[in-house]
Amino acid sequence: MLPDPSLITNGLVEAFTLSNLLFILAGVAIGQIVGATPGLSIIMALAIAIPLTFGFDTLTAIAFLISVNKGGTIGGAVPSILINVPGTPESAATALDGHPMAKKGRPLKAMKYALYYSVTGDFLSDVVLILVAAPLAVVALKMGPIEITALMILAFTVISGLVGESLLKGLTAAALGFLCASIGLDPGTATPRFTFGMLELYDGLELTALSIGTLAMSEILYNIVGARKGKPSAAPIRVSGGTRSDRTVTFREYLANRYVALRAFVLGTSIGAIPGLGSTTAGFLSYSVTKQAARDPEAFGTGDPRGIAASETANSAVVGANLIPLLTLGIPGNIAAALLVSAFMIHGVQPGPLLFEEQGNLIYGMFGAMLIANLCNLAVGQVGMRFWAMIVSAPASVVFSGAMLLCFTGSYVIAGGVFGIYVMIGSAVLGYLMRAFGLSIVAFIVAFILTPELEGAIVSSRLITGDDPWAILSHPIALALLALSVVSIIYLGPWRRTPGAQEDPEKT
């Protein structure tokens, strides 16, 4: 099944032209900037970039768009680490350990960890895509509604590592996320639920507006509310200073988390290869599994590099793996991939089973471009982090008011006008209150993202099997996943926690 090596080298050669290199570099830089800006989403960057590529040749266009996407996954980690305001929802799990590490005076080190592991995950999943896309896609197709139901149940059992210090409160937060996910048309009969006559709510609460609100804006509000008179605000984080080891990541330190990174990569690639899930889920699940499986789960949340490695490797691994169903089946795995499909179509290429035969040169050229983009990502990231560090050396008042305006404007542009702003404000207040009362925002968001998948899969399963629960016996993959859920509850469950841990209202 392995492709001919000469095809791959040809592709690399094809991709290696000056104009391609420049566009890849530009794409990566744009992606990183957009990703690092709270309130802007990578989806928006892609939607804007697609019309710009009308005049490019096909390979350049696709290479540029993929570079934007790759840059975005790296950029998002920057504000998560520096100011605890995630630039993109998928990097929210990075904030859990990245920000504490930055607060301890090691922001550059945290950003470097994020960059290296992100590029690692991205690179490895690209290799998987290049070598075994077709067989993997066939396996992914075996995941029907019944298997997806089981997979979602497994995912819910795994998120226990995200519930915060109090299991009850974590579950309450998840239940709220579960409830919010049911707003809009239901998956079975398409009748409105909790829409109160507003058409804007038919498609549910917009994830972008909701995550900007709960994750980013609530943190901004927290800082604004916490400001006091007569105490001029300092920079949110002290970037310079510290010893050399506070600013760099040695190769030994990088390798120390290789097993964590490897597991995160496998998780991210598997989630990416199955259409419908996404990088946010991957980052959180990987973080949660790593924390629960660790011998010392209480070290997480205090600036542990394993937390950064788990989150960043997994969310970046999704990016390459997402192209697996796209290229082999023509099925986009998430919105970013759907935008790539339309870019392909505009350039007259229809993704599907014949793509590799009909457009072999283009596809291997694209693979070449992806590998180049990873290197560019590393280079741009190295330079970029100094730039971001400079920006956050402004007083917190400027940084947070600027971030606030970006979130305000971003939710207007992304999430359908003024209505999007109201959703964002509402979720920001919810996020603020949840934070104040120790309810995990992360558990809320993950439940919000997973629930529609679960509900859709359950409805389809019941319809397909004619509501016969015993039908599951003829689905071995689903049975295995359910067995794994039980194992996960027993071995990764919250009872492994050290008892008597104090609650920290600042931690989410």
Partner 1 sequence: MANLKTCVFSLCMVALTPTVAVAAECPEGYPDGPITFRVGYGAGGGTDAVARKVASLIEEQAGWTVVVENRPGASGGVMATELMREDADGSIVGVASNTTLAINPWDNPDTVYTYEDFRYMGTGMLLNYGLVALKDKPYDTLEEFIAAVEEMGRGTVSVGAASHEIAVRAIADHFGVNLVPIPGKGSAAALQEALGGHVDATVQSTQHVPQIKAGKMVQLATLTDTRAVYAPDVPTLKEEGLDVSIEGHIFFMLPKDTPDDIHACLSETLAEATSSEAYGEFMAKLETEAMNMGPDGTRDWLEEASAFYKESLSGEQ
Partner 2 sequence: MTVDRLLGALVAGFGVVLLFVLIPAHVQARPGEPVDPSLFPRIAAWMLMLLGGLQMVFPGGGTTVPPPRDIGRLALAVAMLVAAALVLRVIGFIPTAILLMGTTVLLIHERRPLWAVLSVLAVPVLVWALFELVLQRPLP
**Residues 447-466 close enough to bind partner 2 by CB under 8 A:** 451, 455, 459, 462-463
8 A C-beta contact, residue 349 and residue 362:
yes
Rounded Cα distance between 266 and 318, Å, is 10
Q: Which of 135, 353, 476, 505 binds partner 2 (CB under 8 A)?
A: 505
404 counts as binding partner 2 under rule CB under 8 A: yes
422 counts as binding partner 2 under rule CB under 8 A: yes
Residue where the block lists tokens 């994830």: 207
Closest Cα partner for 125 from 282, 5, 332, 300?
Answer: 282
What pairs with residue 193 in β-bridges?
Answer: 184
Q: Which of 250, 382, 409, 474 binds partner 2 (CB under 8 A)?
A: 409
22 counts as binding partner 2 under rule CB under 8 A: no
**What SS3 state is found at 493?**
coil
Site for partner 2 in 97-126 (CB under 8 A): none
401 counts as binding partner 2 under rule CB under 8 A: yes
Residue where the block lists tokens 């003829």: 474
Q: Least distance (Å) from partner 1 to the CB of residue 396?
A: 35
8 A C-beta contact, residue 415 and residue 209:
yes
- Kindly write down the DSSP assignment for every residue of 357-398, as one continuous string: HHTHHHHHHHHHHHHHHHHHHHHHHHHHHHHHHHHTTS-HHH
493, interface contact from partner 2, partner 1, none, CB < 5-8 Å by kind: none
Site for partner 2 in 431-450 (CB under 8 A): 432, 436-438
429, interface contact from partner 1, partner 2, none, CB < 5-8 Å by kind: partner 2
227 counts as binding partner 2 under rule CB under 8 A: yes
Element (H, E) at 66: helix 58-75
Site for partner 2 in 276-335 (CB under 8 A): none
Rounded Cα distance between 262 and 478, Å, is 25
Site for partner 2 in 459-498 (CB under 8 A): 459, 462-463, 467
225 counts as binding partner 2 under rule CB under 8 A: yes
Q: Least distance (Å) from partner 2 to the CB of residue 396?
A: 8
- Count Cβ atoms within 10 A of the Cβ of residue 125 and give its class: 0-12 exposed, 13-18 middle, 19 or more buried: buried
| Closer residue to partner 2 (CB): 189 or 498 | 189
Rounded Cα distance between 130 and 320, Å, is 9
Stretch that binds partner 2, among 71-79, 223-231, 288-296, 343-351 (CB under 8 A): 223-231
| Closer residue to partner 1 (CB): 55 or 230 | 55
Site for partner 2 in 39-58 (CB under 8 A): 40, 44-45, 48
8 A C-beta contact, residue 347 and residue 58:
yes
In one-letter notation, the amino acid at residue 68 is V
Rounded Cα distance between 415 and 283, Å, is 23
Q: Which of 10, 17, 166, 302 binds partner 2 (CB under 8 A)?
A: 166
Residue 472's CB is within 10 A of a number of other CB atoms, namely: 17
Binding residues for partner 2, rule CB under 8 A, total: 71
| Closer residue to partner 1 (CB): 41 or 315 | 41
Contacts of 267 (CB under 8 A, 6+ apart): 282, 285, 286, 289, 314, 317
390 counts as binding partner 2 under rule CB under 8 A: no
The token duo for 45 is: 């960057």
| Closer residue to partner 1 (CB): 337 or 389 | 337
Q: Least distance (Å) from partner 1 to the CB of residue 288?
A: 25
Closest Cα partner for 327 from 346, 308, 307, 349?
Answer: 349
Q: Which of 7, 186, 254, 347 binds partner 2 (CB under 8 A)?
A: 186
338 counts as binding partner 2 under rule CB under 8 A: no
Residue where the block lists tokens 């050396």: 393
54, interface contact from partner 1, partner 2, none, CB < 5-8 Å by kind: partner 1
Provide the total of helices (H) and of strands (E) in the chain, helices listed first.
24, 2
By CB under 8 A, name the binding residues for partner 1: 43, 46-47, 50-52, 54-56, 141-146, 185, 187-190, 192, 195, 197-200, 202-203, 275-276, 325, 329-332, 335, 338-339, 341-342, 345-346, 348, 350-355, 416-417, 456, 459-460, 463-464, 466
8 A C-beta contact, residue 477 and residue 151:
no
**What SS3 state is found at 184?**
strand
Closest Cα partner for 47 from 30, 60, 29, 25?
Answer: 30
422, interface contact from partner 1, partner 2, none, CB < 5-8 Å by kind: partner 2
Q: Least distance (Å) from partner 2 to the CB of residue 455?
A: 5
421 counts as binding partner 2 under rule CB under 8 A: yes
8 A C-beta contact, residue 453 and residue 122:
no
Q: Which of 221, 237, 239, 376 binds partner 2 (CB under 8 A)?
A: 221
